[in-house]
Each structure stands twice: as C-alpha cells, then as structure tokens.
C-alpha cells in the first residue's frame, strides 16, 4: 500500500453506495485508475465537486494491490472546461474523448503524451472558431497511433508501397489504405478519394493542422470512415458515436 499524488482527468463515475462513488481516472503518471471515493456523494466532502466528469484534478490515492480498488483520499479541481456546457456537439465530443480513453486503454498503462493531447482537445472543443469534428478526429487518430491501432496512411497497409493518391481504397480489416494492386485481395474496403486521404494525413499530423480542415464534405467523409474503423477495431460501436458531429 502506498500514497501517491497524481493529476487526473475524471472519465467515469458511478454511485457505489449512499455516500460513495467509484471513479475512473486517467492520469499521466499511472494511466487509467479506478478508485473508490468514500463520501464522494456528500455535498461537503473532501472532494468538493472535483470528481465531476471531464474535470482535471490533483488527487491523492492510496494504491492497493492488484485486484482491489484504489482509494481516493483527496481531489482538488485544477481545470474545468465550461465552454463544453454551452455547445452540445462539443460536450458529446468531450464525452467521447472520455469513452475512448476508458475503452482503449488498460489499467495502469500510462501514456503521458495522450493525457496532454486529451486535455488540449477538451480545451479546444466548443471554443469560438473551432470546428469540433476535425478537433476530435485529430485526437482519435493520435490516440489510435499512440496505442498501436493507427491505420496505415503513408504506405499501403498490405504491400508497403508508397501511395500516390490515385485509385486508393480504405480497409478497416486490412489495417488502412490499400494500393490498387492489393485491393482485389481484400473484400472489406471502400473507395478513398485523394482529398479524403490527404485530409486524414493532415488530421493526424502533430500540432494544429486540423484547424485547416473546414470543408463539410471532407469532414463528413472522415467522420464516416473513422466511425467504421473505430467500430471495426474495437469490435463494437462506441456509445457516443451516433451523437458526434463532423
Ligand atoms: Zn499494396
């Protein structure tokens, strides 16, 4: 048993008893952690309102041996994202960020850069001048790559050939973009226009290239493709998927 401090994004919370809650926290230090917050349902508790969904807080945990829940002893708000409450598309996108972090990562498997990416995404969603779809798509592509599920975009997923942009197809089963020569061997595929392919590469780039993606048709193509890919790789449809805008 040890006492640890961490920064945490609250990604899930369920009532456990009259007074306690079980919270799922995503931390740069320890990855995903599930912890019992005793007294977490009382209005005036050690946790104040820190353990609300999509809040970043400074926490103190008592780590338990594997198999039992950690104990959350303290939580202080560090950052909230109030703009999400005024934009339903942004709010659903924020919930989807939490769902992805929860569903795609294992307990105690830290990815500090992904934590930073999630917080930056939550800061940007719903801000004036931000189109939520590309902002979220950037996060999805970064998450998938960080966790080893990123679709092949620069090279043919099958033969590794450099792609020119002509006659491309996208195959979730095949692991990404396929060159013309490899397409007959893969049944599960859909045509991929050069413009959509280049948009995917732009969305995946580090930094803020996603802001340049504005065209509604391309945004819609990207959303459909990501819906299909994420559902295929995860093996089921994420709950928030029907509520996401492009
Ligand atoms: Zn190929």
Beta strands 31-37 and 70-79 are: parallel
Question: Which positions of the chain have pLDDT values less than 70?
Answer: 1, 40-49, 66
Query: In a 3-state reduction of DSSP, which class is residue 144?
Result: helix
Q: How many Å lie between the centroid of ligand 1 and the Cα of residue 243?
A: 34
User: How many angstroms is it from 202 CA to the middle of ligand 1?
Assistant: 22
**Secondary structure class of 178 (helix, strand, coil):** strand
Q: State which residues form the domain around 237.
A: 88-243
Looking at the DSSP bridge assignments, the partners of residue 8 are 57
pLDDT (tens digit per residue) in 20-53: 889 999 999 999 999 998 876 665 566 656 788 9
Q: Which of 28, 59, 79 is the last residue of a domain?
A: 79
pLDDT of residue 107: 87
Helices 132-146/88-104 angle, 10° precision: 10
pLDDT at 205: 94
Distance (Å) from CA 20 to ligand 1 centroid: 54
* Ligand 1 geometric centre to CA of 224 (Å): 23
75 and 92 both lie in a single domain? no
Residue finishing a domain among 44, 61, 79: 79
CB atoms within 10 A of CB 66: 7
- Which residues neighbour ligand 1 (ion) by CB within 5 Å? 156, 158-159, 161, 179, 182
Q: What is the pLDDT of residue 48?
A: 59
- Give the pLDDT of residue 131: 96
What's the 168 CA to ligand 1 centre distance in angstroms? Answer: 10
Question: Quick one: tokens of 122?
Answer: 């939550």
Segment (H or E) for 99: helix 88-104
- Same domain for 75 and 133, yes or no, is no
Report pTM: 0.93
Instruction: Round to whole Å and give the CA distance between 106 and 243.
Output: 25
pLDDT for 42: 63
Distance in Å, CA 116 to ligand 1 centroid: 35
């Amino acid at each position: 048993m040890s006492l640890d401090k961490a920064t945490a994004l609250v990604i899930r919370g369920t009532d456990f008893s009259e007074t306690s809650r079980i919270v799922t926290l995503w931390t740069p230090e320890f990855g995903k952690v599930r912890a019992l917050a005793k007294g977490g349902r009382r209005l005036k508790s050690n946790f104040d309102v820190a353990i609300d969904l999509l809040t970043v807080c400074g926490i103190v945990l008592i780590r338990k041996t594997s198999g039992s829940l950690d104990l959350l002893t303290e939580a202080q708000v560090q950052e909230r994202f109030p703009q999400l409450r005024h934009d339903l598309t942004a709010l659903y996108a924020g919930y989807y960020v939490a769902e992805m972090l929860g569903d795609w990562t294992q307990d105690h498997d830290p990815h500090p850069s992904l934590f930073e990416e999630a917080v930056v995404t939550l800061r940007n969603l719903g801000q004036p001048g931000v189109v939520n779809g590309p902002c979220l798509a950037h996060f999805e592509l970064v998450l998938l790559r960080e966790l080893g599920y990123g679709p092949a975009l620069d090279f043919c997923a099958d033969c590794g050939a450099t792609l020119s942009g002509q006659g491309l197809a996208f195959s979730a089963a095949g692991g990404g973009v396929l060159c013309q020569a490899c397409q007959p061997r893969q049944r599960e595929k859909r045509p991929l226009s050069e413009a959509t392919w280049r948009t995917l590469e732009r969305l995946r780039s580090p930094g803020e290239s996603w802001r340049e993606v504005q065209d509604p048709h391309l945004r819609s193509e990207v959303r459909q493709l990501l819906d299909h890919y994420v559902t295929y790789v995860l093996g089921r449809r994420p709950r928030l998927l029907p509520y996401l805008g492009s």
